[in-house]
Amino acid sequence: MYPSPIEGYVAPTTVDEAVAAFARWGEETHYIAGGQSLMQAIKSRMVRPKCLVDLQKIDVIQGIHQEPASIRIGAMTRYCDIADSELLEGPFAALVDGAGHVGDRQVRHRGTIGGSLCWNYISACMPAVNLAIGSQLTLASLSGQTRAIDIEDFLGAPLETSRQEGELLLSVELPQIVGRAGSAYRKWSLMTDGLPVIGVGAFLQLDDVGSCSSARISVTGLESGPIRVLTAERALIGVSHSNTKGIEEALNDSSTSLDTHSDEEADAEYRRVLFRHLGRDVVTRAFMRALGNRE
Amino acid sequence: MNTSVSITINGIAYERSIPIRMLLVDFIRYEAGLTGTHVGCTFEGACGACTVHLDGDAIKSCLVLAVQCDGRWITTVEGLAEGSELHPLQIAFNEHHALQCGYCTSGLLMTGVDLIEKDSELNEEKVRHGITGNLCRCAGYSNIVDAILSVARARTHEEEV
């Protein structure tokens, strides 16, 4: 567990300098964000970087910002800052749920939302949370152009994203909220705050009478990578927070079609059980948050 | 490839030429000669024995390259005491018998101090959640939690008085 020799290290202070450094060093160059996953891969020599472009000094991609229409989270914002944020309540509280239980205290002091999304580990929390919320990502290319992309189009199979070679994730924009909305995320791990065997995210928007008008349900811990559970989302429409039977049925029915796998942590059927239980909990909590009820 | 860094550890700046791949924990142990920071899990990032403070935040020094800490401040377990006066948490570890073999102790002290300094309303659940990144294989967690809570409570009491 020790890195192979690394030829170059650059710590730019601007995005332009970062992509220029990446272009200059070429193949086997890696951006390093918080490094809490990447350093593991580097130490096990699964990744042997020629050069590391360290993003920690680039101020413009840090912090949680209230913009006129929406909230923008810089890609280099750490888990601990998301977990403590007062801006991320109600509609976006799933981010707080997720970030507050990633890894451990030390990891949350270094690890970042952007790093987690770009790494897209099989059972990471941030991809599933953002998939539920429906975040939009902004990336800068090697030629300096920026593009916006929906989280669905960004995340692929585990460890895969549609990020191009040298592209740099700048920020995560949260959707504009009209009316009442709430979100929640919960995972089940073998150890406290460990990687989830299954994690479920829920984002609900409510109509005037408090029934669900649109739902986004995501799940992590599947071999396919994080996915939305469309059957559950459809079944939740029109359901109210007090309709526990309706919530239960939506999750029970959709769990049967969930493509789960068996491994040493849990068998396929148990993963479906976890999805149902965690799903009920996060949907109920998302309702409560949308309705402004204290937990 | 070597590179020059200046890393301040416990108030002393260490200027060295080091390989880029050097981990912070190795810089602390071999370049600064401060061996209180331990390596428990052969650098897998699982045990927390190498926990130090980077600009005031508890981090695992085996999950960061030394070069990433150029120009920054590190506090290690050697930096907790003021002269010959131990940090209150070090005294509490002694009083509560919060160590047996002592291997995890430096890491747990650094995580414990981070918790105490950042949360003025610590309780048992928060402490237990807060130290999940530190393994103690003598399984002395109860005493460790007691020690951290005793210092947190003493602080709260001082503030009230």
Tell me which chain A residues have a C-beta less than 8 angstroms from the C-beta of B3: 9
CA distances to A64, A290, B36, B63 from B115, in Å? 23, 32, 20, 20
Mean pLDDT of A172-194: 95
- Nearest CA to A247 out of A221, A270, A215 is that of A215
Q: Which of B3, B48, B58 sits opposite A9 (nearest CB)?
A: B3
SS3 A154: helix
Domain A8-54 shares a fold with domain A180-290: no
How far is Cα A174 from Cα A134, in angstroms, rounded to an integer? 7
State the pLDDT at residue A182. 97
Predicted confidence (pLDDT) per residue in A91-126, tens digit? 999 999 999 999 999 999 999 999 999 999 988 999
Mean pLDDT of B6-14: 98
Please report, for chain A, the start and end positions of each structural domain, with discontinuous segments joined by +. Answer: 8-54, 62-173, 180-290
How far is Cα A241 from Cα A206, in angstroms, rounded to an integer? 10
Q: Which of B1, B44, B57 sits opposite A109 (nearest CB)?
A: B57
Locate B146 and state its tokens: 């007691």
**Interchain pair B58, A105: CB under 8 A:** yes
Domains identified in chain B and CATH numbers: 2-79 (3.10.20.30), 88-160 (1.10.150.120)
pLDDT band at B160 (very low <50, low <70, confident <90, very high): confident
Test the A interface: residue of B68, B122, B148 with most A CBs within 10 Å: B68
pTM for the complete prediction? 0.95
Q: Which of B42, B43, B58 sits opposite A106 (nearest CB)?
A: B58
Are the beta carbons of B20 and B3 closer than 8 angstroms? yes
Give me the total of CB pairs closer than 8 Å, taking one residue from chain A and one from chain B. 89
- Nearest CA to A6 out of A58, A57, A56, A53 is that of A53
Locate B118 and state its tokens: 């950042």
- CATH architecture for segment(s) A62-173: 2-Layer Sandwich (3.30)
**Interchain pair A43, B130: CB under 8 A:** no
- Give alpha helix (H) positions in B61-161: 88-95, 105-118, 124-130, 141-160
State the pLDDT at residue A215. 98
Locate A84 and state its tokens: 């403590």
Determine the residue type at A112: T
State the pLDDT at residue A295. 57
State the pLDDT at residue A192. 87
Mean pLDDT of A208-236: 96
With a CB cutoff of 8 Å and minimum separation 6, the contacts of B103 are B38, B40, B49, B137
Predicted confidence (pLDDT) per residue in A68-88, tens digit? 999 999 999 999 999 999 999
Predicted confidence (pLDDT) per residue in A24-43, tens digit? 999 999 999 999 999 999 99
pLDDT band at B139 (very low <50, low <70, confident <90, very high): confident
- CATH architecture for segment(s) A8-54: 2-Layer Sandwich (3.30)
CATH of domain A180-290: 3.30.390.50
